[in-house]
Chains A and B, each alone.
Chain A
């Protein structure tokens, strides 16, 4: 690929969001967000619909003003600047590819606004178009494109600006599943190549895991945890994160103190945190359990063969728990089994604060 799409490497584009909050009337959409994103990092904002992802992205873009707080890009405070002066480009959820302009003029829109000479516009448009594999569509109008092609135009338009930061709001959510998979891989490659800092909003955890250098999990206008995908998955900082990530999500069981570092979970004694006194939540991922002679007593309620493995829903001491087990097992509803959690994968949460306990 072409090296000249890489931006100037002295030009650091780290982003700092300091104590940003946003209220719409009486409704507080964002509460005191603090987030630092490194130069060239791919940051994914992940959360359920309505948690404030778009609002945060629009504040970074300058399409929305924060009620309080500061936004810094590349060591420059930008929250009083117009979007065009922030060194950002954006890919919109519904693409926003102008219907009255050709693909060429769409990709070149920002360059034209920046009064770039014609030959430079042409050079950049053709280069980004070939990067996104749409060079044969340059004369078409958006009405003559498929959703996937429109998506490529939207990304090309952003890349053509050679921005410091590229902002994407659920860019793949309008594509069908197969196309989404393809575009996901391609986006990752193109963005890594362009060495652009990226902030990517999605509600799709698989998308987040596969793309991100780091994931910021958002919930009700707050960032609950910002860490690498594997860290977020393995060591959720709060019960919400544990329950949000993973399909099926983490299982929780009530645990009572049974001695120093010993906890009673469904009648079994399990090693756990030493400091805590009050009851805790014992947490384990479905794939981190096995059938064994010793373990949590469970009665099978539902067996769902998924090909590679079995998804088994069981009743453990009155709580429904899901386990992903070997597909060779012959289990049926009503069977009594013992489920042994893999000890290093067990996590603990304080039900009062919902935070993780070590």
Chain B
């Protein structure tokens, strides 16, 4: 085969796979979202957006992402720096820290439910040490703040490691000589982090943040396990439209809205963390 065609031939299988399992369903979903009894229309979008649960589920999703992602970013940077500095036991620590990655999000939700529910670990412990007299219903509708906190905690526990793994790999690629140069020229450890690590980590930070933000908009199982109907998010609304209300047009429209939000955030992150023109990192 001619060398000019070879690369295209090699990416053909992947392209086909993506067409069949991404592009085609995407077109179907779009058809459902924009379709109606009389041809193309925005009817489903209007319905979805004007429904009373839309603003609250949108707000919940955004608030959760805003609470969780920055904490995860800071935590994963801290953990990645610590792992990188470690001389011995580095791999072991990394394995332990990434265990939550191997657990499905529903299972993660259930684990945290077992901690927070009325007969859960937290209650038995607090009763046991005498902090409270009787178990408290943390996750009831009277405590929306605690529900939010529990979901945020579970998400942080579950999904920080995905950023950690990407950042550890990224930090490992930064030559040690840059740190030594920075040190010789007077940069403190904190300045070395700000002036060497962060800028040189930009490509990894982009990947990690995009992945994490997009996943944050798709948060579902953890929320359902811990908040049930108390804490509607966009994904649980899509689920409700599709399976409870049997309105697949509305479900498709909402799914496209989530996709649009994800794309917007991806572009924002790419722009915010772009490498200056001419700089090679």
Contacts and interface: CB of A to CB of B under 8 A. Distances in A.
B196 interface: yes
B180 interface: yes
Contacts of A63: 180, 183-184
A88 interface: yes
14 contacts: A62-B184, A63-B184, A84-B184, A84-B187, A89-B185, A96-B175, A96-B180, A96-B181, A98-B181, A100-B279, A109-B187, A113-B186, A141-B276, A142-B280
A141 B199 CA distance: 14
B278 to A, nearest CB: 4
A328 to B, nearest CB: 51
A89 B280 contact: no
A334 interface: no
Given A94-B175, A94-B177, A100-B199, A109 B182 contact: yes
Q: Which of A62, A83, A114 has the most CB of B within 10 A?
A: A83
B181 A100 contact: no
Q: Which of B181, B191, B199, B280 has the most CB of A within 10 A?
A: B181
A161 B180 CA distance: 16
B272 to A, nearest CB: 15
Interface string B199-223: 1101000000000000000000000
Interface in B261-281: 275-276, 278-281
A172 interface: no
B278 A92 contact: no
A61 B280 contact: no
Contacts of A189: none
B135 to A, nearest CB: 54
Interface of A: 61-63, 82-84, 88-90, 92-94, 96, 98-101, 109-110, 113-114, 140-144, 157, 161
A94 B281 CA distance: 16
Interface residues of B, number: 22
B95 interface: no
Given A114-B186, A161-B185, A100 B180 contact: no
A62 B184 CA distance: 8
B178 interface: yes
Contacts of B281: 99-100
Contacts of B191: 113
Contact of B185 (A99, A109, A143): A109
Contact of A141 (B182, B185, B196, B278): B278
Contacts of B180: 63, 90, 92, 96
Given A63-B180, A99-B280, A100-B276, A113 B200 contact: no
Contacts of A94: 175, 177
Contacts of A142: 280
Contacts of B279: 99-101, 141, 143
Contacts of B200: 99-100
A132 B202 CA distance: 31
B280 A141 contact: yes
Q: Which of A88, A92, A114 has the most CB of B within 10 A?
A: A92
B41 to A, nearest CB: 49
A89 B281 CA distance: 25
A273 to B, nearest CB: 48
A89 B184 contact: yes
Nearest to B178: A96
Given A98-B196, A100-B200, A100-B275, A92 B280 contact: no
A96 B177 contact: yes
Closest 8 CB pairs of A and B: A143-B280, A110-B185, A113-B186, A96-B181, A84-B186, A100-B199, A96-B177, A141-B279
A82 B182 CA distance: 12
Nearest to B182: A109
Nearest to B198: A100
A140 B279 CA distance: 8
Given A98-B196, A140-B278, A90 B187 contact: no
Contacts of B177: 92-94, 96
Q: Which of B182, B191, B199, B276 has the most CB of A within 10 A?
A: B182
Interface in B136-176: 175
B5 to A, nearest CB: 32
B174 to A, nearest CB: 10
Nearest to B177: A96
Contacts of B187: 84, 109, 113
A94 B175 CA distance: 10
A2 B281 CA distance: 36
Given A100-B199, A113-B191, A88 B181 contact: no
A88 B275 CA distance: 31
A146 B258 CA distance: 47
A113 B178 CA distance: 15
B175 to A, nearest CB: 7
Nearest to B187: A113
Contacts of A88: 184
Given A96-B175, A96-B178, A96-B180, A157 B278 contact: no
A92 B181 contact: yes
A195 B175 CA distance: 32
B11 to A, nearest CB: 28
B83 to A, nearest CB: 22
